[in-house]
Amino acid sequence: MEITGNILPDPTETGVLPAVQAAGGGLCMVDGTLEWTGGTVWGNTAQLGGGIALYAGTVTMDQVAIAANTASYGGAMWIGSPTLDASQVRSWCNTATSEGGSFYLALWNSDALFTYLDLALNSSPVGAEVSGVDGSLASLEGAAASGNSANALFDTAGVFRVDTSAVANAGGEVFGSGTVSGSSVVLSDPLFSSVTCNDVVTDDDFTLQATSPAIDAGPSADLDVDGSRADAGANGGPGGAW
Ligand SMILES: [Ca+2]
Ligand SMILES: [Ca+2]
């Protein structure tokens, strides 16, 4: 499944629009239950959540790729207060003009869990990869994040719990003013093989280079499909072959 090329709000609509009409360029979920496996959401635009906006409900995402979407908040995804469990998600080259180049946790009770996550080259003035308001919680396990922004990868007043991950920002700062906890985090570039923000999403290779610090650095109780300890990143862990 591919979701691409949508622009919100619809430029032919005029007047004062409900906020939801400008949220989730590729997919907007207001409530309910979503179990989503596979697919690519790329090249969409909205004010909140260029690729995806999740207001509430219960959401399970697995092996979903989100690339080159654009928004004010949450280039890839704007997260309200759903119960979100995202595994093997890959987000790259998304842009937010305000906050959260990849993910923006918008509410005091936003609480999102990402396991085996790839983040690369997302951009925003604040929180190039992930940003969250005071009280929000982003939990990352087995993440591989690589950025080139002058700003922190993870920023603003949210709480970031990061475990068994490899993260680095060529522009320097990784964590901004948010509260950070966690364990077994390597502050070093995960060395994806080839990722370019060139408006082509099919030429990007997130295979880890041989010297990647993300190799065997994922959740210690998990194994990769080759039987070795799980790697960090979206190709890691027992569900990593995709
Ligand atoms: Ca590319
Ligand atoms: Ca491994």
Quick: pLDDT tens for 53-65: 999 999 999 999 9
The pLDDT of residue 239:
87
| Gap from CA of 125 to ligand 1 centroid (Å) | 22
| Gap from CA of 113 to ligand 2 centroid (Å) | 22
* Rounded-to-integer distance, Cα 102 and Cα 118, Å: 11
* Rounded-to-integer distance, Cα 34 and Cα 241, Å: 22
| Gap from CA of 51 to ligand 1 centroid (Å) | 17
* Rounded-to-integer distance, Cα 146 and Cα 76, Å: 15
**Ligand that lies nearest to the alpha carbon of residue 201, given by its number in the listed order:** 1
Identify the band that residue 82 occupies on the pLDDT scale cut at 50, 70 and 90. very high
Identify the band that residue 100 occupies on the pLDDT scale cut at 50, 70 and 90. very high
**Ligand that lies nearest to the alpha carbon of residue 238, given by its number in the listed order:** 2
Q: Is 220 left (phi over 0), alpha (psi -120 to 50) or beta?
A: alpha
The pLDDT of residue 227:
95
| Gap from CA of 67 to ligand 1 centroid (Å) | 9
Structure tokens at 189: 């570039």
| Gap from CA of 41 to ligand 2 centroid (Å) | 28
Structure tokens at 202: 């099919």
Quick: pLDDT tens for 153-208: 999 999 999 999 999 999 889 999 989 999 999 999 999 999 999 989 999 999 99
209-223: average pLDDT = 97
CB contact at 8 A, 104 and 72: no
The pLDDT of residue 21:
76
| Gap from CA of 185 to ligand 2 centroid (Å) | 16
Quick: pLDDT tens for 6-23: 988 876 776 666 666 789
| Gap from CA of 137 to ligand 1 centroid (Å) | 30
DSSP secondary structure, 96-134, as one string:
EEEE-SSEEE-STT-EEEEEEEEEES-B-SB-SSEEE-T
Phi, psi angle pair for 22, to nearest 5°: -120, 20
CB atoms within 10 A of CB 134: 11
CB atoms within 10 A of CB 16: 5
Name the residues around ion ligand 1, CB cutoff 5 A: 196, 198, 200, 203-204
CB contact at 8 A, 105 and 179: no
Whether pLDDT at 150 is above 90: no
* Every domain of the chain and the residues it spans: 2-6+20-208
**Ligand that lies nearest to the alpha carbon of residue 241, given by its number in the listed order:** 2
| Gap from CA of 24 to ligand 1 centroid (Å) | 22
Quick: pLDDT tens for 103-139: 999 999 999 999 999 999 999 999 999 999 999 999 9
The pLDDT of residue 20:
67
Question: Which amino acid is it at 116?
Answer: Y
| Gap from CA of 22 to ligand 2 centroid (Å) | 41
Identify the band that residue 75 occupies on the pLDDT scale cut at 50, 70 and 90. very high
The pLDDT of residue 242:
74
CB-based contacts of 138: which residues, under 8 Å, 6+ apart? 103, 105, 112, 114, 130, 132, 154, 158, 159, 160, 161
What does R_g of the chain's alpha carbons equal in angstroms? 16
| Gap from CA of 231 to ligand 2 centroid (Å) | 4
| Gap from CA of 234 to ligand 2 centroid (Å) | 12
* Rounded-to-integer distance, Cα 194 and Cα 87, Å: 22
